[in-house]
Chain A
Amino acid sequence: MQRIILHADFNAFYASVECLHRVEIRDKPVAVAGDPDKRHGIILTKNQYAKSFGIKTGEAIWQAKQKAPGLIVVPPNYPLYLKFARMGREIYARYSSQIEPFGLDEAWIDISSAGRNMAEGEAIAQEIRERVRDELGITVSVGVSFNKVFAKLGSDLKKPDAVTVITGSDYKDKIWPLPAGELLYVGRSTNVKLRRYGMQTIGDIANARPELLKCILGKWGLVLHDFANGLDDSPVAVMDCDPPVKSIGNSCTTPRDMCSDEDVKLMFYVLSESVAARLREGGFLCKTVQIGLRDSELYSFERQCKLRRATDISSEIAGAAFALFSQNYSWRRPLRSIGVRAADLTPYGSPVQLTLTEDESKREKKEKLERAIDDIRQRFGHFAIERAIMLKDSAMGSINPKEEHVIHPVGFF
């Protein structure tokens, strides 16, 4: 049976939702950007009009305003975008239960069924496109193809409010002339490597010898060769069937640069509390703690260490993070962003080896305490109870990574 896979991509998602709700800015160049006071002042999305000025996602607000002096910059409203993402998925769910979201604004939908052909697939894609426009008031581009990779490429070919079909007989005409960088997993450095061997387009990758690609890129070379030739057979995940969690982390660009051990300690507590609460929510313990740091010159690095005991206690995670930090950073420059990640997860309640040197009852008390804090926060809000250290710096102490956590696309595999 031939697979029929759709890839639906909301056009300029955040900006479209803002323009729908704010009638007065619809015919103006609009960009959604983070809060410059919190130093998150980069462009997250822009509408079509703003795009025509050459404004790019990821650039600073001041750069964008130089290109388009009349640019209207609005702050993001994530809860509203989450609501629209959910309403979008509800529309897709009328056609299939195999829906795999890729970030908030994209999803693959597998609508294969016995006897269904590409033309019917296209008709369904058109129906979805119209429904999104009429019911949500924003537009979507849909790619229709026989694998996920081509469906995604298809949704990029015609925008906005459009459907593009890529079949087994025309992919060589439609996909192969595209630049290699358009292909999933061809990032900047892969692209540079491919160019060195004269490979500029997806067709060049498709027609290269697999051994050569393997030689340049390792086993990924073979994966890309398959992608380019339409041989990707990865399935579309079933909705509500979450992939196994491998790690849980939070990171943050702080409102001001961190310049002392005290600042870093405070942030490790902020982040570890969120990570630990999420571990408890998911019923996990972690055996490894990772930290990620980025300094004021945007140089970044990560370090990790094993814990002696698997844990979901925030003070243990923060302690391990701070120990790692002390061993690996000598304050060459102030720090701009910081992250903590719990990895190597095991289910809560797995048998543990007790030690003779540690007071087990103390540890149990700590754990009970943290669960009580979870309970208080759930009932009365995050800031109903705080560590005293949070009061030392009102700007950094008032960050709530757990609730401000936004889901970004995870890897394809």
Chain B
Amino acid sequence: MVERTYENDIKVYVSVDVRFDEGGNIRPLRIIWEDGRTFEIQRVLDVRRAASLKAGGSGIRFKCQINSKETYLFYEQPRWFVERIK
């Protein structure tokens, strides 16, 4: 049986460039937005497992600094998503 996935306006699945370090840790480097724009992740401020009630989902949550602003990036395994700001 294949897992059904759910889409909504707030949950935006994105492409992410990721580096695996020698310890196997994951560090997202940049997000490629749905329109093709690329956003560099300047820093990862926090990593933890968390639910996103806004977008509806749960995964490993990276608190990222992008253009000096803080954004959550979720690794839902195997996909990545961000919460759209409305």
Contacts and interface: CB of A to CB of B under 8 A. Distances in A.
A408 interface: no
Contacts of A79: 1-4
B58 A87 contact: yes
B29 to A, nearest CB: 25
Contact of A20 (B2, B3, B48, B58): B58
Nearest to B77: A83
Interface stretch (A2-10, A131-139, A205-213, A383-391): A131-139
Contacts of B2: 79
B58 A136 contact: yes
B3 A83 contact: yes
Interface stretch (A21-29, A284-292, A317-325): A21-29
A22 B56 contact: yes
Interface in B48-67: 48-58
A62 interface: no
A77 B3 contact: yes
A123 interface: no
Nearest to B9: A23
| Residue of B53, B56, B57 with most partner-chain A CB within 10 A | B56
B8 A23 contact: yes
Contacts of A404: 1
A137 B3 contact: no
Interface in B1-47: 1-4, 6, 8, 10
B57 A77 contact: no
Given A77-B4, A79-B1, A404-B1, A21 B51 contact: no
A157 to B, nearest CB: 25
A83 B1 CA distance: 13
Size bin of chain B's contact surface: 10 to 19
A77 B51 CA distance: 18
Contacts, number: 48
A78 B1 contact: yes
A80 interface: yes
B51 A134 contact: yes
Given A20-B56, A21-B57, A22-B6, A136 B51 contact: yes
Interface residues of A, number: 20
| Residue of A23, A78, A136 with most partner-chain B CB within 10 A | A23
A146 to B, nearest CB: 31
Contacts of A136: 51, 58
A138 B53 CA distance: 10
B50 A135 contact: yes
A403 interface: yes
A330 B51 CA distance: 55
Contacts of A84: 58
A135 B58 contact: yes
A305 B18 CA distance: 58
| Residue of B49, B53, B58 with most partner-chain A CB within 10 A | B58
Contacts of B49: 87, 135
Contacts of A83: 3
Interface in A1-51: 20-24
Contacts of A20: 51, 53, 56-58
A83 B49 CA distance: 14
Contacts of A87: 49, 58
Interface of B: 1-4, 6, 8, 10, 48-58
Given A83-B3, A87-B49, A137-B57, 8 more contacts: A20-B58, A21-B6, A23-B56, A24-B8, A87-B58, A134-B50, A135-B49, A136-B58
20 contacts: A20-B51, A20-B56, A20-B58, A21-B56, A22-B6, A23-B10, A23-B56, A79-B1, A79-B4, A83-B3, A84-B58, A87-B49, A134-B50, A134-B51, A135-B49, A136-B58, A137-B53, A138-B51, A403-B1, A404-B1
